[in-house]
Structure 1
Amino acid sequence: MFWKSVVFKLWLTIIMLVAFVLLILTVLLLEFFENFYVEDAEMNLLNQAESVQSLVESHENEDVSIDTVNQLMDPSTRVTIFFDEHQYWQNDTYEEYLEIEPTWFITQTDISRVFSHGEHIKEISTLPEAKEDIIIVGVPTHDERGAIYVYQSLNVVEETTEQTTNIILLAASIAIVLTTIFAFFLSTRITAPLIKMRKAASELARGEFHTKVPVLTYDEIGELANSFNLMRRQLNYHITALNQEKSQLSSILKSMADGVITVNRKLDVLIINPPAEQFLEQLVYENSLQKDELPYELKGYFTQVLANEEEHSTEIVVQGRSYVLVMTPLYDDSVVVGVVAIIRDMTDERQLDKLRKDFLANVSHELRTPISMMQGYSEAIVDDVAETKEEKQELAQIIYDESLRMGRLVNELLDLARMEAGHIQLNIEEVNFQHFIERVARKFINVSTEQNIEFDTHISIKDQFVNIDPDRIEQVLTNLIDNAFRHTDVGGLVKVNVTEQNDSVVVEVQDNGSGISEEDLPFVFERFYKSDKARTRNQSKKGTGLGLSIAKHIVEAHNGNIYAKSKYNEGTSFTFTLPKS
């Protein structure tokens, strides 16, 4: 507001200073002029009294001298001549209140000193009846028998003083007006650059660092403007550098595969990246906490690091995934101000370690069974346990079947190793996909009849031709359909659906069999992985555990995708997509 501005304060200061000076000057001048006019009036009256004295004493004829005095005196001035205490003369005046009884001069102590002591007097007195102030000058005659009193009203002096006062007040008013104009001019000259700097500072506070304050003068305000512009440039440089560093830090944190959480001593989250947010969401969901609430488990670890001021690491399992937390104190100089936690998802590493450990066990297990059977039946033949030719032929057939099974296992292991090494070769052909699906499905008609399982195919595609390796895709499809039959009970249903989605063909193999448990579902495409951990499944339904892993590599080699959906004891659905070209 205006009365809070610098212009108003500066103007008010100057006006008050000038008004105070003018007030003192006016009082002193009025006092001076008042004394001056009173003294001047007294001196004038004294001169008139002495002139009257000279006229009266220089003429022997009293009438002539009185007539001369009457003509010379101003009508506003009255003179009373005492020839002695009983004989007097007064001139005429138009001021009625100046008519004073002669006895009044004799009865007044201060005024009667002219008679009693022969002194000259100059007095200001008040008339007894008119209550008016008058100036009286009295001189004795040379023979000291009489006295001459000349007096006039003090109003004459007061009028002169009033006129002088009006002139002084007028001059003071003009001075105040001129001072106001000067003060506003000076204030605006001073505050105009300050106002511009204030606007520039406001824009600076909003982040506008390109506003420049013009330098209009070379005084202190001009130096202030130069300093402001220098500060603006420095702030712009440092803020830009800070933003770049912040952007780089943010980009680094977002691109990190590991999660990062930084908290202060109050355990408020300061910095967090997306992997850490996902970890917290899983931990909050598992512990049924509020969305923005830090889990108690993490609070305990952070508090321990703050208290001990040393690094601490631990491993947490959340939603079936394994995470390693490495927490380090955050220092500001030598004071611990918070904690930095690195969160690393070790699920894949743990799973790979487990797979490496299980690989030999799985291979050994898969090979041990046929080798043991071949060894046992071979010993039976060598020891002549089988007496008849038919029994020997039956044992030889079992040995032959197990050798074939061993061959399949070894071939699948070799194929899988080549695929994982990236050495898979595809023979791409343009295939009528509907005829291709129908040909593969016909191979399972007898299986469907023997196991009393309903088998159905549904094909809904407009473009019949797809570029694929038919042998490899037949291997994938055969494996999925065979798995569906092996895990579906009598009276169940196996269905193959073929649809289109954008520029891809979608193949779904669905059954209502035993299904896959939720904890096994993420690992069905791993090699040697079997949901039957005890391996007690019916030998007629036993597989090598490599089929789905090989199928995944074949589909991905076609730039496709394969995934599974299942509910335990309700059924399973395997779906893979293949680009048309």
Structure 2
Amino acid sequence: MKFWKSVVVKLWGTILILVSFVLLVLTFLLLQFMENYHMQEVKDDLSKLANKVAFIMESHENEKLAKDIVFELTDSLTHIIVVSEDEVFSSGQKNSTEIAEEIVQDEKLASVISSKKEVIEVREPQELQSSGSQDHSLLIVGIPYEDGAVYVAQSLMAIYDTSKKTTTYILLAAGIAIVLTTVFAFFLSTRITYPLRKMKEAAHELANGKFDTKVPILTHDEIGGLAIAFNRMGKQLKYHLNAIEQQKEHLSNILSSMADGVITLKVDGSFLVTNPPAERFFQAWYYENGMQENEELPIELKELFQRVVNTEKEQIIEMKVQGRSWVIVMSPLYNQSYIRGAVAILRDMTEERRLDKLRKDFIANVSHELRTPISMLQGYSEAIVDNIASSEEEKQEIARVIYDESLRMGRLVNDLLDLARMEAGHITLRMEDVNVEQFIEKVERKFQGIAKQKQIHLFSSIDIESNHYEFDPDRLEQVLTNLIDNAFRHTSDGGEIKINVKSHQGGLKFDISDTGVGIKEEDLPFVFERFYKADKARTRGRSGTGLGLAIVKNIVEAHEGTISVHSKEKEGTTFSFFIPNH
């Protein structure tokens, strides 16, 4: 079935039909021409012969001599019949007598004598009565002369034989032409279809992704131009597909690298594209609602999607999933003039909301911390102005309170300034080569007075590979002072505070442990935040600003170190921080 559909067969069939039609028309016209030509030649020859016989019959008085001359002019196919007023004679060939009788009896032929006009007639076999003349047609020419008429009849069999031979030769030539046409058609078709087959194979390879495939350029005609265009098309197709693939990969990398989640929805609400942050959002939502992943779109997003489709405007909602705040912005996607879906951006706003809460808490805490000393300063100042203090001792006591509260406000303001500079990255470290043992002894001596007063056992343990490490001694002393001061404030009389220093991963690890009241488990994640204060009962009358641990964390991180806390309520607390050796 495929063979008959091939270009070779179609082209061969077209050429063969065209050649056959041309040969058929040419053969018909040629045979007609040959037959008419030979017929006219025979008519002319018979007319000449009849005129010659008539001339002989008129010019010879001796009738017998004239007849003999006439008989010499005949051949096997020609009959001469002379009809005079008193007799009819023929040339003597076979069937001449029967032909002569039929001529005399034929009114049209016999009218030559009376009308004195030439008659040329063709008699078919069925028109002749003589049995001997029924095999072929006769051409009869009648010429009048003075005493009668001369009739010359000749069989047309020679003409028919010539036509048959001519037809045979033409058919033979037509057969040879058809064979040559077939060979030529197949040769031409092969020359045309071979490059086409190569292009077909190359097209299949292009469809399979082999873009380096090239079509051989065999000719420099239109097919060769087509092969050049095909190779150029393959090269351009490879270039454009690579560009599309790179763009797709680029977009995929952008989506994967985005901190925000991206969701593309079809017009029916099903997923089209998601990125990892969006997938994490869905995993958390499915887990929170006890559902299987990819089961369905969250209800809130369904309603948001419907609003976007109905209003054709951007919509925004905020959701809480697993304790995290997500802001979702969804916009319609257009395909020319109609909506084909929507795209949603999911942004995790947990940190922003936390920072916003911290900002509000910071304002409240600063206001709270400043309100008490300001109120006390105002109250005691009014007492002085109003001369409420009657004795010198009362005045001294009021002045002492005002002085202590001003110091407290100064510490708070300084701590706030230090913390602001540190968080802004403006902290400057003065790195020095420090003797660790002497440094720890210096810090320990600062708190020996308080230790004796509260009867708290303060001691240190040092286990280091080298006695010299590089860090900022002033800043690190500030860290240890804050941590040890916290430990004293939260440790009851008779307790124990230990400073443990040891070498760790090329740096120093400090552990400040106490046997105080400890920190509640729910408070542990927030101890390094600004203005953090646990139960006021733990401060035992020595309230701090709530900024010390935040400052400690910033100093440690400025040294590229880390800090952590471990505590159990009523068992004690251990602050640990690591400082790498620079």
| TM superposition score normalised by structure 1 | 0.59
- Would the alpha carbon gap of residues 13 and 497 (structure 1) be closer, same or farther in structure 2, given more than 3 Å must change? farther
Deviations 1:100-132 (A, max 9, x none): 756875898999778766664324549999999
Check whether the contact 1:105–1:111 (CA below 8 A) recurs between aligned residues. Answer: no
Partner of 2:206: none
The Cα shift of 1:552 comes to 0.9
Match of 2:357 among 354, 357, 363: 354
Distance 2:467 2:101 in 1: 151
Check whether the contact 2:31–2:163 (CA below 8 A) recurs between aligned residues. Answer: no
- Would the alpha carbon gap of residues 29 and 411 (structure 1) be closer, same or farther in structure 2, given more than 3 Å must change? same
Distance 1:15 1:106 in 2: 56
- Would the alpha carbon gap of residues 195 and 442 (structure 1) be closer, same or farther in structure 2, given more than 3 Å must change? farther
Mean CA deviation greater in 483-492 or 18-27: 483-492
Partner of 1:470: 473
1:204 aligns with 2:274: no
AA in 1 matched with 2:414: L
| SS at 2:64 equivalent | coil
Deviations 1:146-203 (A, max 9, x none): 8543223422232134335556776798899999999989x96344434433443443
Match of 1:138 among 137, 140, 151: 140
Deviations 1:229-281 (A, max 9, x none): xxxxxxx9xx9xx979x98x999999987666665644466787x7xx52552
Deviations 1:298-340 (A, max 9, x none): 2321222322344543322234333334445567888666556
| SS at 2:165 equivalent | helix
Mean CA deviation greater in 476-485 or 43-52: 476-485
The Cα shift of 1:542 comes to 8.5
Give runs of aligned pairs for residues 183-194 of structure 1, distance below 5 A: 189-194=221-226
Distance 1:124 1:509 in 2: 145
Partner of 1:50: 50
Deviations 1:364-412 (A, max 9, x none): 7779999999xxxxxxxxxxxxxxxxxxxxxxxxxx99x9999789636
- Would the alpha carbon gap of residues 301 and 367 (structure 1) be closer, same or farther in structure 2, given more than 3 Å must change? same
Gaps in structure 2 of 5+ consecutive residues: 113-118, 193-218, 377-399
Give runs of aligned pairs for residues 423-442 of structure 1, distance below 5 A: 424=427, 426-432=429-435
AA in 1 matched with 2:354: Q
Partner of 1:307: 310
Partner of 2:214: none
Deviations 1:463-501 (A, max 9, x none): 664311234324435666887999999999999685655
AA in 2 matched with 1:557: A
Partner of 1:323: 326
Partner of 2:280: 281
Check whether the contact 2:501–2:508 (CA below 8 A) recurs between aligned residues. Answer: no
| SS at 1:525 equivalent | coil
- Say how many residue pairs are matched: 502
Partner of 1:79: 78
Distance 2:555 2:161 in 1: 129
The Cα shift of 1:576 comes to 4.2
Partner of 2:207: none
| SS at 2:433 equivalent | strand
Partner of 2:549: 548
Partner of 2:153: 149
AA in 1 matched with 2:551: I
- Would the alpha carbon gap of residues 547 and 79 (structure 1) be closer, same or farther in structure 2, given more than 3 Å must change? same
AA in 1 matched with 2:552: A
Distance 1:283 1:516 in 2: 33
Check whether the contact 1:284–1:295 (CA below 8 A) recurs between aligned residues. Answer: no
Give runs of aligned pairs for residues 334-373 of structure 1, distance below 5 A: 339=342, 341=344, 343-359=346-362, 362=365
Deviations 1:392-441 (A, max 9, x none): xxxxxxxx99x999978963662353232246554422135588679989
Check whether the contact 2:519–2:573 (CA below 8 A) recurs between aligned residues. Answer: yes
Partner of 2:527: 524
Distance 1:144 1:468 in 2: 161
Distance 2:15 2:479 in 1: 100
Partner of 1:384: none
Check whether the contact 2:432–2:471 (CA below 8 A) recurs between aligned residues. Answer: yes
Partner of 1:390: none
| SS at 1:528 equivalent | coil
| SS at 1:526 equivalent | coil
- Would the alpha carbon gap of residues 139 and 469 (structure 1) be closer, same or farther in structure 2, given more than 3 Å must change? closer
Distance 2:46 2:490 in 1: 149
The Cα shift of 1:35 comes to 3.3
Distance 1:514 1:130 in 2: 152
Partner of 2:203: none
RMSD, aligned CA: 6.7
Distance 1:27 1:79 in 2: 30
Partner of 1:69: 73
Distance 1:463 1:103 in 2: 160
| SS at 2:140 equivalent | strand
- Would the alpha carbon gap of residues 180 and 19 (structure 1) be closer, same or farther in structure 2, given more than 3 Å must change? farther
Give runs of aligned pairs for residues 427-576 of structure 1, distance below 5 A: 427-432=430-435, 465-476=468-479, 500-501=504-505, 517=521, 522-530=525-533, 532=534, 535=536, 539=540, 545-558=546-559, 560-562=560-562, 564=564, 576=577
1:411 aligns with 2:411: yes
- Would the alpha carbon gap of residues 462 and 292 (structure 1) be closer, same or farther in structure 2, given more than 3 Å must change? farther
Check whether the contact 1:121–1:138 (CA below 8 A) recurs between aligned residues. Answer: yes
Distance 1:253 1:86 in 2: 123
Give runs of aligned pairs for residues 233-312 of structure 1, distance below 5 A: 263=265, 265-267=267-269, 277-278=276-277, 281-288=280-287, 290=293, 294-312=297-315
Distance 1:42 1:491 in 2: 157
